[in-house]
Amino acid sequence: MFPSTRIKSCLPVMNPMFKRLRPHRPFRQTPFHNQSQTKVSSTQLQKSKWMNLRAIITRWVPLGSVIYVGWCYIRASINYEVSKVEIKFYEMFPFRVTSRLWGRLAACELPTSIRNFVYGTYVKMFNVNLNDAAVTDLTYYKSLSEFFTRALREGARFISPSICVSPCDGVVLNCGPADTDKIEQVKGVTYSLEEFLGENKWSKSTDTNYYNSLLTDKKNILHQCIIYLAPGDYHRFHSPCDWTSKFRRHFSGKLLSVNPWMARLIPGLFTMNERAVYVGEWKYGFFSLTAVGATNVGSIEIYHDPQLRTNTKGKRNRVDELVTEVSYKKGELFGQFNMGSTIILLFEAPKDFKFEFKSGDRVQVGQALTTVAVHQAR
């Protein structure tokens, strides 16, 4: 029909057209080495999907949260006892970093339109008593941090005539005589007095026994009171008596949780955490007030000590010391936490000094520490 020479001359033009219209080819088994390369590349692709930053946020964090909540539920249902290994892993968690992030987040100013919702949710979750606040209008507080450290209305707390009163609102973890170097943080769990306060540089005593070096009168003994401030409590704390602060020591330690449950699990918890120790004298001799930091406590602020800086970057074993001479009156504002934490009182008093309350009781600012002191004051 067509000459062969003409057909050959058209091939260069038609060949590309036929390439586009190639018929479907049946499956041909590829060599083994090509299959292995394909498997390796798909495996690497799967790994990259689970190991990048997006996967950590969208997959690992939700998965880990679900596993953790489930484990907590199982542990609570079978009355599980926490092992030492679990406690070590808990101590390794970077709570200082997360607490700094939380502090920055809590300090951010919120739009007025959402303040009622945010603070109202917080009030319901932690049973906050707004009737005691100086300002009950939630839109007044610009940030969560400002709401945490809200002031009390005038007359909300009665300051007892007792010689020594509660410095804050909270739950008593432990109270009573501390007549040895090992002091109970909760029943059956102790911490070291020397590790907690540090080297005795404020006293002129030459006694080699640390406990005795603190006492000005050997007939007296030390007493302690540990009060835990929950997130819903009033976060400011006051001077518990008339006393003079002469020395401050700041330990830049960990920021583990100090709630009663953790205090029962970790011996020496208060010697590990960040704390500001104020040492001085009162009517009976030695007196100390210690503000202990905790998880999500962005900072501890002391009104008469602007040089104090807590939860800052650096090594955890830093110790900062300052010689002071500040006199406080009973009930005077002393400082504040930017979240719930713990106040520890360690003071010298006669052996018959007995506390009015016991472990587990709720106390408020200005409540008398001892009935004996009330009778003496009258």
> Which residues carry out catalysis?
169, 238, 341
**CA–CA separation, 148 and 77 (whole Å):** 33
Strand bridging mode 300-302 / 333-337: antiparallel
- H/E element holding 375? helix 371-377
Single out the residue of 344, 302, 331, 357 nearest to residue 160, CA to CA: 331
CB 363: neighbour CB atoms within 10 A?
21
**CA–CA separation, 311 and 96 (whole Å):** 7
**CA–CA separation, 160 and 145 (whole Å):** 29
Strand, helix or coil at 189? strand
DSSP letters of 99-168? HHHHHHHHTSPPPHHHHHHHHHHHHHHHT--GGGBS---GGG--SHHHHHTPPBPTTSS---SSSSB-SS
Strand, helix or coil at 179? coil
> Token match 């058209």: residue?
10
**CA–CA separation, 210 and 16 (whole Å):** 97
Tokens of 318: 């830093």
Single out the residue of 371, 331, 366 nearest to residue 353, CA to CA: 371
Question: How far is residue 204 from each of residues 76, 194, 207, 249, measured CA to CA in Å?
Answer: 51, 16, 9, 17
SS3 content of the chain, % helix, strand, coil (to 5): 35, 25, 40
Strand, helix or coil at 96? helix
